[in-house]
Structure 1
Amino acid sequence: MGQPVVHWELWSQNPAAVAKFYQEIFAWKIEDYPLMNYRIVHTEGGGMGIDGGIMQAPHDGSPSINLTCYIAVDDLAPYRDKIVAAGGKICVEEKPVPGMGTLALFTDPDGRMMGLWKPEKQK
Protein backbone atom coordinates (compact mmCIF):
# COMPACT_ATOMS: atom_id res chain seq x y z
CA MET A 1 0.00 0.00 0.00
CA GLY A 2 1.29 3.50 -0.79
CA GLN A 3 2.02 6.34 1.61
CA PRO A 4 -0.99 8.66 2.27
CA VAL A 5 -1.22 12.42 1.79
CA VAL A 6 -1.88 13.72 5.31
CA HIS A 7 -1.65 17.52 5.08
CA TRP A 8 -1.63 20.34 2.52
CA GLU A 9 -0.55 23.98 2.64
CA LEU A 10 -1.53 27.03 0.63
CA TRP A 11 1.35 29.49 0.36
CA SER A 12 0.02 33.04 0.01
CA GLN A 13 1.18 36.65 -0.20
CA ASN A 14 -1.87 37.52 1.97
CA PRO A 15 -2.62 34.58 4.30
CA ALA A 16 -5.27 36.44 6.32
CA ALA A 17 -7.33 37.24 3.22
CA VAL A 18 -6.94 33.70 1.83
CA ALA A 19 -7.99 32.19 5.17
CA LYS A 20 -11.05 34.45 5.32
CA PHE A 21 -11.96 33.55 1.73
CA TYR A 22 -11.93 29.77 2.33
CA GLN A 23 -13.60 30.09 5.73
CA GLU A 24 -16.49 32.08 4.25
CA ILE A 25 -16.92 29.85 1.20
CA PHE A 26 -16.51 26.38 2.73
CA ALA A 27 -17.13 27.02 6.48
CA TRP A 28 -13.72 25.61 7.35
CA LYS A 29 -12.59 26.15 10.94
CA ILE A 30 -9.30 28.08 10.84
CA GLU A 31 -7.01 28.54 13.85
CA ASP A 32 -4.52 31.40 13.74
CA TYR A 33 -1.01 30.91 15.16
CA PRO A 34 0.45 34.45 14.97
CA LEU A 35 3.89 33.54 16.37
CA MET A 36 4.37 31.13 13.47
CA ASN A 37 2.46 33.29 10.95
CA TYR A 38 0.50 30.12 10.23
CA ARG A 39 -3.13 29.07 10.13
CA ILE A 40 -4.31 25.49 10.71
CA VAL A 41 -7.30 24.62 8.52
CA HIS A 42 -9.83 22.00 9.64
CA THR A 43 -11.91 20.90 6.66
CA GLU A 44 -14.08 18.43 8.65
CA GLY A 45 -16.51 16.97 6.18
CA GLY A 46 -18.34 13.99 7.65
CA GLY A 47 -15.13 12.02 8.13
CA MET A 48 -13.86 12.95 4.69
CA GLY A 49 -11.16 15.40 3.76
CA ILE A 50 -7.62 16.30 4.70
CA ASP A 51 -6.81 19.20 7.02
CA GLY A 52 -4.17 21.71 6.01
CA GLY A 53 -2.61 25.09 6.60
CA ILE A 54 -2.22 28.56 5.15
CA MET A 55 1.13 30.30 5.41
CA GLN A 56 3.07 33.32 4.16
CA ALA A 57 4.79 32.66 0.85
CA PRO A 58 8.55 33.15 0.93
CA HIS A 59 9.99 36.41 -0.41
CA ASP A 60 13.50 35.11 -0.97
CA GLY A 61 13.29 34.41 -4.69
CA SER A 62 11.98 30.87 -4.12
CA PRO A 63 9.96 29.41 -6.96
CA SER A 64 6.31 30.33 -7.01
CA ILE A 65 4.51 27.80 -4.85
CA ASN A 66 0.76 27.58 -4.63
CA LEU A 67 0.08 24.24 -2.94
CA THR A 68 2.25 21.74 -1.09
CA CYS A 69 1.05 18.27 -0.07
CA TYR A 70 2.67 16.33 2.78
CA ILE A 71 3.09 12.56 2.55
CA ALA A 72 3.25 10.53 5.77
CA VAL A 73 6.30 8.29 6.23
CA ASP A 74 7.68 6.34 9.17
CA ASP A 75 11.27 7.51 8.69
CA LEU A 76 12.41 10.55 6.69
CA ALA A 77 15.96 9.40 5.84
CA PRO A 78 15.19 6.50 3.47
CA TYR A 79 12.66 8.60 1.57
CA ARG A 80 15.16 11.45 1.33
CA ASP A 81 17.60 9.03 -0.29
CA LYS A 82 14.92 7.70 -2.68
CA ILE A 83 13.96 11.26 -3.72
CA VAL A 84 17.56 12.22 -4.52
CA ALA A 85 18.19 8.93 -6.37
CA ALA A 86 15.06 9.46 -8.48
CA GLY A 87 16.07 12.98 -9.57
CA GLY A 88 14.41 15.07 -6.88
CA LYS A 89 16.06 17.71 -4.70
CA ILE A 90 15.86 18.15 -0.92
CA CYS A 91 15.04 21.80 -0.21
CA VAL A 92 14.51 21.69 3.56
CA GLU A 93 16.25 19.01 5.60
CA GLU A 94 14.55 17.44 8.60
CA LYS A 95 12.88 20.19 10.62
CA PRO A 96 11.01 19.48 13.87
CA VAL A 97 7.54 20.91 14.47
CA PRO A 98 7.32 20.95 18.29
CA GLY A 99 4.65 18.67 19.68
CA MET A 100 3.59 17.45 16.23
CA GLY A 101 6.34 15.76 14.22
CA THR A 102 9.15 16.34 11.73
CA LEU A 103 9.02 17.53 8.13
CA ALA A 104 11.28 17.80 5.11
CA LEU A 105 10.56 19.57 1.82
CA PHE A 106 11.62 18.40 -1.62
CA THR A 107 11.03 19.16 -5.27
CA ASP A 108 10.24 16.56 -7.89
CA PRO A 109 11.93 16.57 -11.33
CA ASP A 110 9.38 19.20 -12.53
CA GLY A 111 10.31 21.50 -9.61
CA ARG A 112 7.03 20.93 -7.75
CA MET A 113 7.43 21.38 -3.97
CA MET A 114 6.18 18.51 -1.81
CA GLY A 115 6.69 17.51 1.80
CA LEU A 116 7.50 14.46 3.87
CA TRP A 117 5.86 14.21 7.28
CA LYS A 118 6.82 11.96 10.18
CA PRO A 119 4.28 12.36 12.98
CA GLU A 120 5.48 12.42 16.55
CA LYS A 121 4.86 9.14 18.35
CA GLN A 122 1.66 9.24 20.39
CA LYS A 123 2.11 8.65 24.10
Structure 2
Amino acid sequence: MGAPVIRFDIGCRDKAKTVAFYEKVFDWTPKQAPFNTEMETGGGKGIDGAVTALGHEPHNYVMIYLEVADVNAACEAIRAEGGQVTVGPVEIPGEAPGGGGKFAWFKDPEGNQLAVFEPPATA
Protein backbone atom coordinates (compact mmCIF):
# COMPACT_ATOMS: atom_id res chain seq x y z
CA MET A 1 0.00 0.00 0.00
CA GLY A 2 2.84 2.42 0.69
CA ALA A 3 2.77 5.61 2.73
CA PRO A 4 1.79 8.62 0.59
CA VAL A 5 2.30 12.11 1.90
CA ILE A 6 -1.12 13.50 2.71
CA ARG A 7 -0.43 16.61 4.82
CA PHE A 8 2.16 19.08 5.97
CA ASP A 9 2.63 21.44 8.89
CA ILE A 10 4.70 24.60 8.81
CA GLY A 11 5.79 25.71 12.26
CA CYS A 12 6.40 29.37 13.08
CA ARG A 13 6.44 32.05 15.77
CA ASP A 14 4.30 34.63 13.93
CA LYS A 15 1.35 32.77 12.42
CA ALA A 16 -0.31 35.80 10.77
CA LYS A 17 2.91 36.83 9.00
CA THR A 18 3.62 33.27 7.86
CA VAL A 19 0.06 32.67 6.61
CA ALA A 20 0.18 35.97 4.67
CA PHE A 21 3.47 34.93 3.03
CA TYR A 22 2.07 31.64 1.67
CA GLU A 23 -1.21 33.25 0.70
CA LYS A 24 0.55 35.96 -1.35
CA VAL A 25 3.38 33.93 -2.90
CA PHE A 26 1.51 30.69 -3.70
CA ASP A 27 -2.16 31.78 -3.64
CA TRP A 28 -3.03 29.32 -0.86
CA THR A 29 -6.38 29.80 0.89
CA PRO A 30 -6.20 30.04 4.71
CA LYS A 31 -9.04 28.78 6.89
CA GLN A 32 -8.83 29.42 10.63
CA ALA A 33 -9.11 26.31 12.80
CA PRO A 34 -9.07 26.10 16.62
CA PHE A 35 -5.32 25.44 16.99
CA ASN A 36 -3.83 26.42 13.62
CA THR A 37 -4.63 27.85 10.21
CA GLU A 38 -5.50 25.19 7.67
CA MET A 39 -4.11 25.93 4.21
CA GLU A 40 -5.86 24.82 1.01
CA THR A 41 -3.18 24.62 -1.66
CA GLY A 42 -5.58 24.35 -4.61
CA GLY A 43 -4.71 23.48 -8.15
CA GLY A 44 -6.57 20.17 -8.21
CA LYS A 45 -3.50 18.19 -7.14
CA GLY A 46 -1.17 18.13 -4.22
CA ILE A 47 -1.98 18.03 -0.53
CA ASP A 48 -3.39 20.46 2.01
CA GLY A 49 -1.76 21.19 5.34
CA ALA A 50 -1.52 23.73 8.12
CA VAL A 51 0.47 26.57 9.64
CA THR A 52 0.97 26.05 13.35
CA ALA A 53 2.40 28.27 16.09
CA LEU A 54 3.04 25.91 18.99
CA GLY A 55 4.19 28.65 21.34
CA HIS A 56 7.32 26.64 22.21
CA GLU A 57 10.24 24.84 20.54
CA PRO A 58 10.35 23.67 17.85
CA HIS A 59 9.09 26.86 16.29
CA ASN A 60 10.42 26.21 12.81
CA TYR A 61 10.18 22.80 11.21
CA VAL A 62 9.38 21.22 7.84
CA MET A 63 10.90 20.33 4.50
CA ILE A 64 8.59 19.88 1.60
CA TYR A 65 8.75 20.56 -2.12
CA LEU A 66 6.12 22.76 -3.71
CA GLU A 67 5.40 22.28 -7.41
CA VAL A 68 5.35 25.55 -9.38
CA ALA A 69 5.02 26.36 -13.09
CA ASP A 70 8.11 28.60 -13.09
CA VAL A 71 10.86 28.36 -10.46
CA ASN A 72 12.43 31.66 -11.52
CA ALA A 73 9.13 33.54 -11.09
CA ALA A 74 8.57 31.82 -7.73
CA CYS A 75 12.03 32.92 -6.57
CA GLU A 76 11.23 36.52 -7.54
CA ALA A 77 7.97 36.37 -5.58
CA ILE A 78 9.71 34.78 -2.59
CA ARG A 79 12.24 37.62 -2.45
CA ALA A 80 9.52 40.27 -2.96
CA GLU A 81 7.59 38.97 0.05
CA GLY A 82 10.59 38.87 2.40
CA GLY A 83 11.86 35.34 1.79
CA GLN A 84 15.40 34.30 0.90
CA VAL A 85 16.43 31.93 -1.88
CA THR A 86 19.21 29.79 -0.38
CA VAL A 87 19.96 27.34 -3.22
CA GLY A 88 19.38 27.69 -6.93
CA PRO A 89 17.49 27.69 -9.12
CA VAL A 90 19.21 24.47 -10.16
CA GLU A 91 18.55 22.60 -13.42
CA ILE A 92 18.16 18.84 -12.88
CA PRO A 93 19.95 16.93 -15.65
CA GLY A 94 17.56 15.04 -17.91
CA GLU A 95 19.53 11.84 -17.43
CA ALA A 96 19.21 12.03 -13.61
CA PRO A 97 16.74 9.70 -11.88
CA GLY A 98 13.33 11.27 -12.36
CA GLY A 99 15.09 13.41 -14.99
CA GLY A 100 14.72 17.06 -15.76
CA GLY A 101 13.03 20.00 -14.16
CA LYS A 102 14.38 22.69 -11.90
CA PHE A 103 14.37 23.39 -8.17
CA ALA A 104 15.33 26.02 -5.62
CA TRP A 105 15.50 25.97 -1.84
CA PHE A 106 14.26 28.97 0.09
CA LYS A 107 13.61 30.30 3.57
CA ASP A 108 10.32 32.00 4.33
CA PRO A 109 10.29 35.16 6.51
CA GLU A 110 10.22 32.95 9.65
CA GLY A 111 13.31 30.97 8.59
CA ASN A 112 11.57 27.72 7.55
CA GLN A 113 13.54 25.90 4.86
CA LEU A 114 11.39 24.65 1.95
CA ALA A 115 11.79 24.08 -1.76
CA VAL A 116 10.04 24.80 -5.05
CA PHE A 117 10.12 22.39 -7.98
CA GLU A 118 9.33 23.00 -11.64
CA PRO A 119 8.65 19.74 -13.51
CA PRO A 120 10.32 19.16 -16.86
CA ALA A 121 8.51 20.50 -19.91
CA THR A 122 6.48 17.90 -21.75
CA ALA A 123 6.95 17.50 -25.48
TM-score, reference length from structure 2: 0.46
- Which structure has greater strand proportion? 1
